[in-house]
């Protein structure tokens, strides 16, 4: 046994990291800063939003508890298993970063709490947590970067807002030019209480009465074709590849009349 592993305390957990954003990056950093080693104590396949448990199907630990963090259960979980999430049917749970810290009995810093607030409740939660405008802008830019948003995506967001925006009642609709919606949502925060961003392959609704979509389309949530989070005024969406183009465009027309 390598000397670095001698007298190492027994760790009961084996972490499987889900889709990347700022919160997931902080979870990884928290694990590393507290002596958890990639490959030995956790796996991180650099997955994107909508990541599934099946990505790790060949890598479940046989003697530790597999802790799946924000992984859609598209396969049966292993016998030794713990799910950490705060989306869909677990929206009443604390942010995943807070859950991991509690599991490991690690004290939270103000930065951790701001990252968790951003992930659980977006900009309104950051404001309630006392974040300054500069902190909010910084955290949102980091979150977009962790999601893979680049300069071109930022430019496409500005073009989409300028060229592909229309209103249906009190809902603002934006036909996105790229696959990243966060640079559009961030730019329009405070300018629309109800926002629907879409392409022919996916959509996300942000804002008031999101829970009406949870109720109206509960079957889509149950079959993992839709996702939801952020509380009553959070977000609801259809992930890329979950529905056909015709179904997506039909939802675009229906949603403004439901919310």
63 DSSP 8-state letter: S
Distance from C-alpha of 127 to C-alpha of 133, rounded to nearest angstrom = 8
DSSP character string of 71-133: -B--SPPPSSEEEE--SGGGTTSPPHHHHHHHHHT-PPPHHHHHHHHHHHHHHHHHHHTT--H
Residue 37 lies in a domain: yes
**Per-residue pLDDT tens digits for 36-64:** 999 999 999 999 988 999 999 999 999 99
Rg for the chain, CA atoms, rounded? 19
pLDDT digits (tens, 9 = 90+) for 175-200: 999 999 999 999 999 999 999 999 99
In order along its 259 residues, the chain shows pLDDT tens digits of 344 545 567 789 999 999 999 999 999 999 999 999 999 999 999 999 889 999 999 999 999 999 999 999 999 999 999 999 998 888 889 999 999 999 999 999 999 999 999 999 999 999 999 999 999 999 999 999 999 999 999 999 999 999 999 999 999 999 999 999 999 999 999 999 999 999 999 999 999 999 999 999 999 999 989 999 887 789 999 988 899 999 999 999 999 999 9
Query: How far is 186 from 229, CA to CA, in rounded Å?
Result: 17
Roughly what angle, to the nearest 10 degrees, separates helices 22-33 and 110-128? 160
| Structural domain for 215, as ranges | 151-258
Count the Cβ atoms, other than its own, within 10 Å of residue 124. 15
* HSE-up (13 A, CA, CB side) for residue 207: 21
Nearest Cα neighbor of 193 from 170, 164, 175, 176 is: 170
> Does residue 210 lie in a domain region?
yes
139 and 155: one domain? no
> Is 203 contained in some domain?
yes
Q: Which of 92, 116, 143 is the last residue of a domain?
A: 143
């Amino acid at each position: 046994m390598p000397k670095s592993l001698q007298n190492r305390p027994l760790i009961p957990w084996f972490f499987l990291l889900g889709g990347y954003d700022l919160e997931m990056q902080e979870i990884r950093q928290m694990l590393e800063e507290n002596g958890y080693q990639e490959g030995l104590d956790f796996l991180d396949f650099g997955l994107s939003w909508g990541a599934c448990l099946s990505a790790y199907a060949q890598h479940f630990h046989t003697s530790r508890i597999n802790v799946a963090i924000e992984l859609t259960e598209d396969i049966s979980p292993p016998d030794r298993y713990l799910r950490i999430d705060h989306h869909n049917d677990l929206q009443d749970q604390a942010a995943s970063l807070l859950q991991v810290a509690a599991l490991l009995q690690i004290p939270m810093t103000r930065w951790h709490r701001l990252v968790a607030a951003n992930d659980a409740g977006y900009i309104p939660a950051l404001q309630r947590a006392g974040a300054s405008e500069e902190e909010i802008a910084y955290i949102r830019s980091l979150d977009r970067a962790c999601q893979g948003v680049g300069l071109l995506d930022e430019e496409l967001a500005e073009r989409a807002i300028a060229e592909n925006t229309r209103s249906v009642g009190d809902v603002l609709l934006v036909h996105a030019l790229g696959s990243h919606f966060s640079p559009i949502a961030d730019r329009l925060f405070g300018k629309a209480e109800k926002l629907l961003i879409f392409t022919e392959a996916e959509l996300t609704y942000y804002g008031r009465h999101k829970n009406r979509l949870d109720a109206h389309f509960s079957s889509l949530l149950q079959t993992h074709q839709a996702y939801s989070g952020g509380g009553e005024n959070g977000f609801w969406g259809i992930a890329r590849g979950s529905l056909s183009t015709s179904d997506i465009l039909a939802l675009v027309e229906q949603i403004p009349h439901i919310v």
